[in-house]
Structure 1
Amino acid sequence: MYNEISNLIENGHSKVLSQVNSAMILLFWQVGKRINDFILEHKRAEYGKGIVGTLSRQLEERFGRNIEEKNLRRMLQFANVFPDTEIVVTLSRHLSWSHFLILIPLKSTEKNQFLCTTCNRRATWR
Structure 2
Amino acid sequence: MSLITNDKKQLSTINTEDTYKEIRCFIISAKQEIYKSVNSAMVEAYWNIGKKIYEVCGENDRAEYGKQVLKNISKALTKEFGQGFSVQNLRNMRQFYMKF
Partner Cα separation in structure 2 for residue 14 and residue 67 of structure 1: 26
Larger radius of gyration: 2
- Match 1:58 to one of 76, 82, 93: 76
Deviation, structure 1 residue 48: 1.1
Q: TM-score, normalising length from structure 1?
A: 0.58
- Match 2:46 to one of 28, 37, 40: 28
Count of aligned residue pairs for this structure pair: 80
Match of 2:67 in 1: 49
Q: TM-score, normalising length from structure 2?
A: 0.72
- Match 1:16 to one of 30, 34, 45: 34
Whichever residue aligns with residue 25 of structure 1, its letter is V
Q: Considering only aligned residues, what root-mean-square deviation do their CA atoms show, in Å?
A: 1.8
Give identity over the alignment, percent. Answer: 34
Deviation, structure 1 residue 72: 0.8
Structure 2: which 5+ runs fail to align? 1-18
